[in-house]
Chain A
Amino acid sequence: MKQSPFVEKYSPLWLQFEEWLKYQKAPKRLKKTLEEPDIDVPSVYRQICHHLALSRSRLYSYILIERLNQLVLSGHQVLYSHHTYFLGDVAQYFGQTFPALVRKEWKLVTLSAALFFIPFLVTLITIQYYPEMVYTIMDDSAVSSLESMYVPDSEGKIGRERGADTDVYMFGFYIKHNTGIDFQIFSGGLLFGIGTIFFLLLNGVFIGAAAGHLTHIGYIDTFWGFVAGHSSFELIAMVFAGAAGFKLAQALVSPGRKTRIRALVDNGQVAVQLLYGTATMTIMAAFIEAFWSSAGSMPVMIKYSVGISLWILVIAYFIFMGRRRYAT
């Protein structure tokens, strides 16, 4: 069959299919007013596939082939689209996938935790004996601004009393700041893990120095009372960001039997799974930090007990959650 008769014979079918595609892509509100074109989609689609194959083998013009290629491509995209159930996926993720993944990657999580908590504790304790060491880590102005942030109020209030105004401001600020640090740690993994190690150590030493110095000069209740609530979420999230970074680094350092790029693709999928939870925890930490930690009127003992309970809860969540297998 020559091209023109071919086009004329089958164009009604192509047009019908095109109408059906348009209907599928129409927004939901418009869809209700329209009537779904009455065609047997799978068989029409297969026919058009056949037409494409025919016009290729008969070497019809490029324009026609491209036209049919587009038609088949659009059909392919509608027929084989992925259907996701968002809420179900989220529940599945936090109920099972995330904690199970953390347990599965326990080696990387431990490595990351050690790289953060060991320098943190070492600096914290060292400063109790050699207080002047804080000035080798931070400069004078940083230390004094740190002190001014946590100076106990003369009226006996604990921490800083701020208006609700600043709470929202601080929430926005903490989200940006903390996710920024997490992403730094994570993407450092792509530099064979050196970036991740560096940022983990850096944060461990800095936070340790701040905590050590404030403890040493006696701002204990204002500082520890302030950080107690959100520390669990924030620090553990940082450790997970490190683990996700190491997952990328692992693909580069020891790809095993895969090529490096293939290993990177596979490990990247895992790392991103870790990152969803990390981001959620960081945002939760920012929320607690802005609205709860800064509430100065709360007795400090309550803050400590809430802080400790949250630590226990978070750790228990990662140890016990999602151990039962559900049929999918």
Chain B
Amino acid sequence: MSQRLDTSYTVDTPEGITLHLSPAGPAPRFLALIIDLMIRMMVSSIIFIVLIFAGETGVGLALILTFMLEWFYPVYYEVRKEGQTPGKKSFGLYVAQEDATPINFSSSVIRNLLRVVDFLPFFYIFGLVSMLLNRRFQRLGDLVAKTVVLHKPEVQVNIKISKKDDKFLNEIKELKRKVSLLEGKDISEVDLNEASIRPPFKFTLIEQQALISYHQRSQKISDERKEELAKITGDLVKNEKKPVAYLMGIANHLLGKGST
């Protein structure tokens, strides 16, 4: 790969393969924190409201319970729920060890105890500075516990895998039907057997990859944008009346599907 512009990093596994991971930056983590804070405050106030009727014993119990909530809420969720507190889950984040294995108990305790230090001097200033000073957006607690907060990308729908070939086709059909319904089109308009067009010259691998990505993402792009993108290829579609269909055809050929 050429030089990286993004913040992702790689981990080598024992199978001799590199995993690509993308650490989450301050913004989504801050929002996740806000959600967690709101949940905790809500639960705390419910505990207090209910237990205040039980007199001083109740208040004492409430103090103990909120103490537990404060310190063990994140640890519980991180260890038991695949590194996701409710806040992190709502933003598609999760905590893992630096080597992408699941977070263990002691690491989770460390990073959540040191939250106190990250909070200093007020509202996570130390944590923020620390996150901006290293490549993986780790706050001080993360650095000491060797953990990192990662994005959990949602699985793309375009490549659906299935048991049998005909089932695979059916799923594609189903997907296309859904997409066309979303776009307000009639199902019959969706062409399932787009033609495969042999390209006029040999592409480099990068160019091939770009065309295939264009094909796979086409369902999510508006027609106008598709047209616009197709015209960027310049000479390739100079003489074509339908540049989008032409590029799709070439992509089909590169993918090895469709009729020639």
How far in angstroms is the closest Cβ of chain A from B69?
12
Q: Which one of A261, A264, A275 contacts B113 once the chains associate, using CB atoms below 8 Å?
A: A275
> Of B59, B206, B212, which one neighbours A169 at CB under 8 angstroms?
B59
Which segment of B160-168, B184-192, B233-241 sits at the interface? B160-168
Q: How far is the CB of A212 from chain B (nearest CB, A)?
A: 30
Whether A82 pairs with B102 at a CB distance below 8 angstroms is yes
| Docked-complex contact B255 and A164, CB < 8 angstroms | no
Q: Is B257 an interface residue (CB 8 A)?
A: yes
| C-alpha gap A163/B256 in the complex (Å) | 82
Contact at A60–B212, with CB atoms within 8 Å? yes
Distance of A70 Cα from B143 Cα, bound (Å): 24
Closest Cβ of chain B to A109, distance in Å, is 19
The answer for the CA separation of A173 and B56 in the assembled complex, in Å, is: 11
The SS class assigned to the B binding surface is: helix
Closest-CB distance, B130 to chain A (whole angstroms): 9
Size category of the binding interface on chain B: 35 or more
**For residue A5, which residues in chain B have a CB less than 8 angstroms away from its CB?**
256-257
Nearest chain A CB to B217's CB is how many angstroms away? 8
A11 touches B120 (CB 8 A): no
> Which residues of B in the span 98-121 have a Cβ within 8 Å of any Cβ on A?
99-102, 104-106, 109-110, 113-114, 116-117, 120
Chain B residues contacting A261 (CB-CB under 8 Å) are: 143
Q: How far is the CA of A168 from the CA of B156 in the complex (A)?
A: 53
A66 CB within 8 Å of chain B: yes
Q: Are B13 and A76 closer than 8 Å at their CB atoms?
A: yes
Q: Which chain A residues border B165 with CB–CB below 8 Å? A: 8
Known pairs A73-B19, A82-B102; A183 contacts B116 (CB<8 A):
yes
**Complex interface: chain A residues within 8 A of B82 (CB):** 25, 77
Tally of A interface residues using CB under 8 Å: 64
Whether B96 is near chain A, meaning CB under 8 Å from some CB there, is yes
Please tell me if the beta carbons of B113 and A2 are within 8 angstroms of each other in the complex.
no
Q: Which chain A residues lie closer than 8 Å to B109 at the CB level?
A: 272, 276
Q: Which of these binds chain B: A46-54, A115-123, A135-143, A222-230? A: A46-54
Interface residues of A in 106-131 (CB under 8 A from B): none
Set of chain A residues within 8 Å of B129, measured between Cβ atoms: none
Knowing A11-B162, A265-B144, the reply to whether A168 touches B254 (Cβ < 8 A) is no
**A170 CB–B CB distance under 8 Å:** yes
A69 touches B257 (CB 8 A): no
A70 with B60, Cβ < 8 A, contacts A12-B163, A49-B17 known: no
Cβ of B158 under 8 Å from chain A: yes
Check B56 against A59 for contact (C-beta < 8 Å). Answer: no
A73 & B146 in contact (Cβ 8 Å cutoff) = no
Q: Are A77 and B158 in contact (CB under 8 A)?
A: no
Q: A2 — which chain B residues lie within 8 A by C-beta?
A: 254-257
Q: Which residues from chain A contact B156 at a C-beta distance below 8 Å?
A: 63, 66-67
**Across-interface contacts of B161 in A (CB, < 8 A):** 7, 11-12, 14-15, 18
Q: How far is the CA of A223 from the CA of B104 in the complex (A)?
A: 44
Are A164 and B57 also in contact (CB < 8 A) when A5-B256, A25-B82, A190-B117 are? yes
Q: Among A53, A60, A264, which residue has the most Cβ atoms of chain B within 10 A? A: A60
Residues of the A chain whose Cβ atoms lie less than 8 Å from the Cβ of B212 = 3, 60-61
**Which chain B residues border A60 with CB–CB below 8 Å?**
209, 212
Residues of B contacting A170 with CB < 8 Å? 60
Against A, the Cβ 8 Å flags (1 = close, 0 = not) of B136-180 are: 000010011110000001011011011111001000000000000
For residue B44, which residues in chain A have a CB less than 8 angstroms away from its CB? none
Please name 23 pairs of A and B residues whose Cβ atoms are closer than 8 Å in the assembled complex, sorted by A.
A3-B255, A8-B165, A46-B15, A49-B13, A49-B16, A61-B213, A67-B155, A72-B13, A72-B19, A73-B21, A76-B19, A76-B101, A77-B101, A163-B56, A165-B55, A165-B56, A169-B56, A169-B60, A170-B60, A172-B60, A175-B64, A265-B146, A272-B144
Query: Which residues on A are within 8 Å of B, measured CB to CB?
Result: 1-5, 7-8, 11-12, 14-15, 18, 25, 45-46, 49, 52-53, 58-64, 66-67, 69-70, 72-73, 76-77, 80-82, 84, 86, 163-173, 175-176, 179, 183, 186-187, 190, 261, 264-265, 268-269, 272, 275-276
Identify the 8 closest CB pairs spanning chains A and B, nearest first.
A172-B63, A2-B256, A268-B144, A11-B161, A168-B60, A169-B60, A172-B60, A82-B104
